[in-house]
Structure formats: structure tokens, C-alpha cells
Amino acid sequence: MNFSGRNDAASANMKPIQVKLVLLGESAVGKSSIVLRFVNNEYQDNKEPTIGAAFLTQRCKLDDRIIKFEIWDTAGQERFHSLAPMYYRNAQAAVIVYDITKPASLEKAKTWVKELQRQANPNIVIALVGNKIDLANNRSVPYEEAEAYANENGLLFFEASAKTGTNIIEVFTELAKKIPYEQILANNKTLNSRTNGQGDNGRVNLNESENNNQDGGQCNC
């Protein structure tokens, strides 16, 4: 897989497939830091708490497809929970994050998994991510425990670190590989014919504006 900015010559005239991705998890587990690492390859100690939600995009190339991730980074505190369905409805992918030094954050992650399984798009692809492995000295969630849980529930599983960058790209790459694109395209086709009364060769036609605001936006893996 190949992540690339929009200046990539080969991809310049390809229409990207939009993939809506949502990040969920307890406050301060590192959701915003993971997004920042993925989108800008940056890291900030003491990342400010997210209020409500933040929105970012990243374009990637997977095989012969261009994917535009629309990333919704949510606020972790319980009372923002009522806003969450707005972000995860219609999402094709979810990254549920916990902190490997905080067992309670895995419990919270499990409740998110349940909520998504119950209420989100049934084809949603979910990755469970144990963040902050740079703090392995303070680990209190064993790798095997979380992995077993992920396997039981059909989730992708990673341990990662936004701080060092370990495994961050991998999370998004593996997610991107598992997304049922044919289905998205088919859905969009129906949607388009509903909207315009005509099909459109299966192309995503919801948002084609090319005035993408990403500057940087480049990463190769």
C-alpha cells in the first residue's frame, strides 16, 4: 500500500473513494495523537483535549484505488457520548483505542465495540489499538489478553505508539485492505440514482471537490 498526496501523477486523474473513519475510546488514550501522526506525521506531548470532535482527511493509494480517509476524531469524555452516533453512523471503518497502561481504558473500548456492533453500519471494519507501547515498562494490559478479545470479536488488533510512530500506518493500511469497496460503490450508485435519477458507473459522487485542504498529506510506507 502506498499513501500519497494528491500531487501523485498516477493518481491525479483518479477519483478517490471516500472512506469515513471514526476514532473512539476513553479520554487521553491518544486518539488525537494517532490521527496527527497518521495525517501529518507529527507528535505533540500534552495534546490538548478534543472538544466535541475534530475532522481531518488523508489520501492513500491502495493497489489501483485512491482512498480518501475522512477521519472523525471524537472527544473521549462520557458526556460527549450522545454526540457519537453522529460520527459513527455511515462510517465504514472505526479505530477503537485504549492505553496499554490503563486497564479501565480497555473496558471502555469493549463497550464501544458492543455499541458499534449493535448500532453502526453492519459492514463496519473495526481495529482495536493498544496505544502507548513506548511506555511498555508501565504496561498493565497484557498483549495476549487484548488480542484474544479482538479475535473473539473479529477485530483487527494492533499495539502502537503515536509518540514513536510504531504501527500507526499499519493500522490504517490493514483497515483499508479490509473495507468492502464494491459494496460502498454499489451503495453510492443507488444513492446517486436516487438523487439524480441516474446511475453513474459506480463512482463516488458525493464529494468530488478537488480543492482539498491538505498541504503536506504525504507519507509513504
Ligand X SMILES: Nc1nc2c(ncn2[C@@H]2O[C@H](COP(=O)(O)OP(=O)(O)O)[C@@H](O)[C@H]2O)c(=O)[nH]1
Q: What is the contact surface with other proteins in residues (CB under 8 A)? A: 27-28, 44-55, 57, 70, 75-77, 79-83, 85-86, 89-90, 121, 190-191, 194-195, 206-207, 209, 211, 213
Give the Cα separation of 12 and 121 in Å (integer): 31
In DSSP terms, 22 is beta-bridged to 72, 94
Handedness of CA 101, 106, 108, 109 (dihedral sign): positive
Give least dist CB 209 to other proteins, A: 5
Among 24, 141, 162, 176, binds ligand X (CB under 6 A): 162
Q: Which is nearer to other proteins, 118 or 194 (CB)?
A: 194
In DSSP terms, 99 is beta-bridged to 131
Give least dist CB 50 to ligand X, A: 5
Among 46, 201, 207, 211, binds ligand X (CB under 6 A): 46
Q: φ and ψ at 13, to 5 degrees?
A: -105, 15
Q: Does position 32 bind Mg ion by CB under 5 A? A: yes
Q: Does position 134 bind ligand X by CB under 6 A? A: yes
Instruction: Check if the beta carbon of residue 69 is closer than 8 Å to that of residue 35.
Output: no
The percent helix, strand, coil of the chain (3-state, each to 5) is 40, 20, 40
Q: Does position 131 bind Mg ion by CB under 5 A? A: no
Give the Cα separation of 43 and 51 in Å (integer): 19
Q: Does position 101 bind ligand X by CB under 6 A? A: no
- Residue 21: all three cell numbers together: 473513519
* Vertex 165: Cα angle to 160 and 170 (nearest 5): 60
Q: Does position 74 bind Mg ion by CB under 5 A? A: no
Q: Does position 82 bind ligand X by CB under 6 A? A: no
Give least dist CB 165 to ligand X, A: 9
Q: Which residues bind ligand X (CB under 6 A)?
A: 25, 27-33, 45-47, 49-50, 76, 131-132, 134-135, 161-163
